[in-house]
A = this chain, B = another copy of it.
Amino acid sequence: MGSAEDAVDGYRPWSEVTPDAARRLLVAAVEAFAERGYHATTTRDIAGRAGMSPAALYIHYKTKEELLHRISRIGHDKALEILTTSADGPGSPADRLDAAVRSFVRWHAAHHTTARVVQYELDALAPEHRAEIVELRRQSDAAVRRILADGVAAGEFDVPDLPGTTLAVLSLCIDVARWFNVAGQRTPDEVGGLYADLVLRMVAARPAPAR
């Protein structure tokens, strides 16, 4: 059967995880964590979904937390790559913001199970792993802030509160992972288009402001 984690954007997920058994366990963990949350998921459940005995998990991962960390790390790397590719790409600030929001949102919708784990299970990580992930998120924030600052400098955007607006844009995109539902009527592409439009309106300079 087709999983929610099938190839999207020509990107086959988790191909970097080897051997095969380790990948199957990791994919099973993503599904379980996304459905029930990290703490409500048992190692027996993960192993069962992967078609293995409970003990098999510990051949490939030292602890349940290591599984979460691996998922979180790979997911954040991918999300950050998507953002920075748009942020540092060609085009006007408006073009770059449109591309960044569109692709970031599309990823959060298409891979909403992964994104849910990545974005909402941060607190379950061990302190040193958490710190590592928080640094990646700081970089995401910087990427968005860069686009907005460039747009302000170019006179394309009107952003009275740069840090606050950066936060709001990222927050809006990230929360897609919470509500997006495959059974819903919207495709990831459509949500990406809608959100890109909304965000551009949020920051657009008004042609003739009332005075």
Contacts and interface: CB of A to CB of B under 8 A. Distances in A.
Interface of A: 36-37, 39-40, 120, 123-124, 160-161, 164-165, 167-168, 171-172, 174-176, 178-179, 186, 191, 194-195, 197-198, 201-204, 206-208
A120 B39 CA distance: 14
Given A37-B124, A39-B40, A175-B175, 18 more contacts: A36-B123, A37-B37, A37-B39, A37-B123, A39-B39, A40-B124, A120-B178, A160-B197, A168-B172, A168-B198, A171-B172, A171-B175, A171-B178, A174-B175, A201-B201, A201-B202, A202-B202, A207-B207
Contacts of A164: 186, 191, 194
B198 A179 contact: no
A123 B174 CA distance: 19
B40 A194 contact: no
A200 B48 CA distance: 49
A99 to B, nearest CB: 19
Nearest to A170: B179
A167 B178 CA distance: 12
Contacts of A186: 164
Closest 9 CB pairs of A and B: A39-B39, A175-B175, A39-B40, A171-B175, A164-B194, A172-B172, A198-B202, A201-B202, A161-B194
